[in-house]
């Protein structure tokens, strides 16, 4: 294997720790020490936290209890909530595209799948997203606690129904199976006992955590060999004391950021340090990005971009404004990853699960649809009407689908600002353009397409040439990888 050039290493880092960077940024990074760049990636350009992502116009809350609303009022409320979740989806995508701290959004995307949840309350979804974004690179214990006390998660996993007299084990089970230990590392007794500890964890109409003392079981519980009058916080603490939690989280991080196939030795070493750091996520990521093995050629270009990574990456490369931003929502649906709508409690499986004949063909056409206004009449499946698991009454699918269908059978109207992109290549000579573009956009098979690209290029002007080569490169299977 040829040694990996500094430039390729930095491209790899830029993609795994974010959504790719432009040619000038990569060139700048290539001349600096790895540690310097990793620090920069971990901290972001701003020292302070990124601004909270809030809805421009949150759905108006009404004081009328749901039971007393008229049918039309309920319908209107439902539509407002759905629209607000769509707005939130688009706002987050736009933040990923423009963020100066992409790793934060990338981590948030990871946690969004790890702590999968659906809510038909936009406010709840927004609050959970903020817990995730705020703690994305913070302490895992804080993150776990914040998520476990969020209205969205308590609602999604039925903990409002978890009461002393009638325990509901769903929440306790998923906390262990999906959030901390992973399947097979706890007993059914652990679930039963911890469900009792979580009794009374609830939320109010504004999404605030509420501890309902009357619903809480104050008896002794025996959980992982310990006995006491445990509450939910105690359970989370005991789970964090269990080293398997560090192992489970590190394995998922490794699979998301490094490779689909877990490497036990590397994961164990990372997990030991993660545990010793008391679950400092930023330190864990530093250990990943600083490791020499992270830059091993077998990992570079071996990751299939998730639909969000693909879309955001493309938009970070070429600034695009959509006349109807909702088209972002359609892309996500057709490609199989819609933010705030994970397929189930386990989140998106990722890897080769993203790819089938139809989704690959759509991916290969996406750059032309966006950048050439190519027509598409691909429709996502009829969307089901409800967003949460609990709220299933009187949700009308038809009204949603009608509104939705109007968006199809249309060209995607875009306003593309190519100028900054042209500028990135201004110092590149004409004969090196195709090679440099390919080199910048792809992380694998960088050398194969040049002659072919040449035959598809529009050589009438330098700008047309850059455009056409870029779009062709983005239409390759290689561009699906990072």
Partner 1 sequence: MLIINRRRFLQVGSLASASMFMPKFLKALEKDEMVPPGNKVLVVIQLSGGNDGLNTVIPYRNDIYFKSRPTIGIKRENALSLTDETGLHPALTGIKSLYNNGSVGILQNVGYPNPDRSHFRSMDIWQTGSTASEAWSNGWIGRYLDAQCKGCDKPVQALEIDDTLSLALKGELEKGLAFKDPNRLSGGNERFMNDLLHQHPSGGGDTHHNVDYLYKTMGATLSSAAYLKDQFKMYRTKEDYPNTALGGSMRTIARLIMSDISTKVYYVSHGTFDTHVNQLNSQNALFKQLDEAVTSFTKDLQANNRFQDVVVMTFSEFGRRVEQNASDGTDHGTANNMFIIGGGLKEKGLLNDGPDLGQLQDGDLQYKVDFKSVYATMLNKWLGADDKAILKHDYPLLSFV
- Contact between 412 and 370 under an 8 Å Cβ cutoff? The reply is yes
DSSP 8-state code for residue 5: P
Q: Using CB under 8 A, pick the residue from 361, 403, 413, 423 that binds partner 1.
A: 361
Q: Using CB under 8 A, pick the residue from 80, 210, 215, 345 that binds partner 1.
A: 345
Structure tokens at 132: 């995730």
Helix intervals (H) in 199-280: 232-241, 243-257, 264-276
Cβ nearer to partner 1, comparing 130 with 463: 463
SS3 of residue 201 by DSSP: strand
Interacting residues with partner 1 between 392 and 451 (CB under 8 A): 392-398, 401, 444-445, 448-449, 451
Rounded-to-integer distance, Cα 271 and Cα 450, Å = 42
Residue of 409, 333, 328 lying closest to 370 (CA atoms)? 328
Q: Using CB under 8 A, pick the residue from 334, 370, 433, 474 that binds partner 1.
A: 334
Site string for partner 1, 53-82 (x = CB under 8 A): ------------------x-----------
What is the pairing mode between strands 209-211 and 201-203? antiparallel
Cβ nearer to partner 1, comparing 25 with 378: 378
CA separation, residue 352 to residues 20, 87, 477 (Å): 21, 29, 13
Asked whether position 158 contacts partner 1 by CB under 8 A, the answer is no
Rounded-to-integer distance, Cα 12 and Cα 16, Å = 6
Asked whether position 481 contacts partner 1 by CB under 8 A, the answer is yes
- Distance of closest approach, residue 74 Cβ to partner 1, in angstroms: 11
Query: Considering only 12-20, 411-419, 431-439, 457-465, which stretch makes contact with partner 1 by CB under 8 A?
Result: 457-465
Asked whether position 365 contacts partner 1 by CB under 8 A, the answer is yes
Structure tokens at 13: 């880092």
Q: Is 371 exposed, middle or buried, given 0-12, 13-18 or 19+ CB atoms closer than 10 A?
A: buried
Rounded-to-integer distance, Cα 152 and Cα 133, Å = 15
Q: Using CB under 8 A, pick the residue from 101, 118, 247, 252 that binds partner 1.
A: 118
Q: Using CB under 8 A, pick the residue from 356, 409, 422, 427 that binds partner 1.
A: 356
Residues near partner 1 (CB under 8 A) are 71, 118, 301-304, 334, 336, 343-346, 349, 352-353, 355-362, 364-365, 368, 372, 374, 376, 378-382, 384-386, 388-390, 392-398, 401, 444-445, 448-449, 451-452, 455-458, 460, 464, 467-468, 472, 475-478, 480-481
């Amino acid at each position: 294997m040829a040694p990996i050039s500094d430039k390729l290493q930095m491209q790899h880092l830029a993609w795994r720790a974010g959504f790719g960077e432009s040619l000038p940024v990569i060139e700048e990074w290539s001349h600096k020490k790895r540690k310097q760049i990793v620090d920069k990636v971990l901290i972001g350009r701003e020292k302070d936290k990124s601004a909270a992502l809030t809805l421009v116009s949150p759905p108006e809350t009404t004081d009328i209890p749901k039971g007393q609303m008229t049918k039309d009022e309920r319908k209107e409320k439902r539509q407002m909530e759905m629209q607000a979740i769509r707005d939130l989806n688009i706002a987050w995508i736009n933040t990923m595209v423009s963020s100066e701290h992409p790793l934060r959004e990338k981590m948030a995307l990871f946690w969004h799948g790890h702590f999968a949840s659906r809510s038909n309350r936009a406010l709840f979804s927004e609050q959970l997203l903020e817990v995730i974004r705020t703690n994305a690179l913070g302490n895992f214990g804080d993150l776990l606690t914040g998520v476990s006390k969020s209205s969205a998660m308590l609602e999604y996993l039925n903990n409002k129904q978890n009461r002393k007299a009638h325990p509901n084990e769903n929440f306790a089970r998923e906390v262990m199976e999906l959030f901390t230990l992973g399947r097979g590392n706890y007993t059914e007794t652990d679930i039963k006992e911890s469900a009792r500890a979580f009794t009374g964890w609830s939320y109010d109409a504004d999404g605030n955590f509420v501890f309902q003392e009357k619903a809480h079981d104050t008896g002794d519980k025996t959980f992982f060999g310990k006995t006491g009058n445990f509450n939910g916080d105690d359970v989370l603490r005991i789970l964090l004391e269990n080293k398997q939690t560090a192992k489970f989280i590190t394995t998922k991080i490794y699979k998301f950021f490094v490779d689909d196939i877990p490497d036990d030795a590397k994961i164990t070493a990372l997990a030991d340090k993660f545990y010793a750091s008391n679950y400092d996520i930023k330190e864990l990521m530093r250990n990943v990005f600083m490791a020499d093995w992270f830059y091993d050629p077998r990992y570079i270009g071996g990751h299939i971009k998730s639909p969000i990574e693909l879309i955001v990456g493309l938009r970070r490369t070429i600034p695009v404004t959509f006349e109807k931003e909702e088209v972002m929502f359609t892309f996500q649906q057709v490609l199989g990853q819609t933010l705030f709508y994970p397929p189930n409690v386990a989140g998106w499986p990722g890897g080769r699960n993203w790819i089938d004949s139809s989704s690959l063909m759509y991916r290969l056409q996406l750059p032309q649809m966006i950048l050439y206004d190519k027509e598409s009449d691909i429709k996502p499946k009829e969307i089901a009407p409800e967003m949460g698991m609990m709220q299933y009454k009187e949700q009308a699918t038809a009204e949603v689908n009608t509104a939705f269908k109007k968006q199809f059978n249309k060209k995607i109207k875009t306003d593309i600002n190519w100028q900054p992109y042209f500028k990135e290549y201004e110092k590149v000579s004409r004969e090196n353009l195709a090679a440099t573009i390919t080199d910048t956009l792809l992380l694998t098979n960088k050398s194969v397409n040049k002659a072919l690209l040449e035959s598809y290029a529009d050589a009438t002007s330098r700008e047309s040439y850059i455009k056409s080569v870029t779009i062709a490169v983005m239409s390759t299977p290689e561009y699906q990888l990072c």
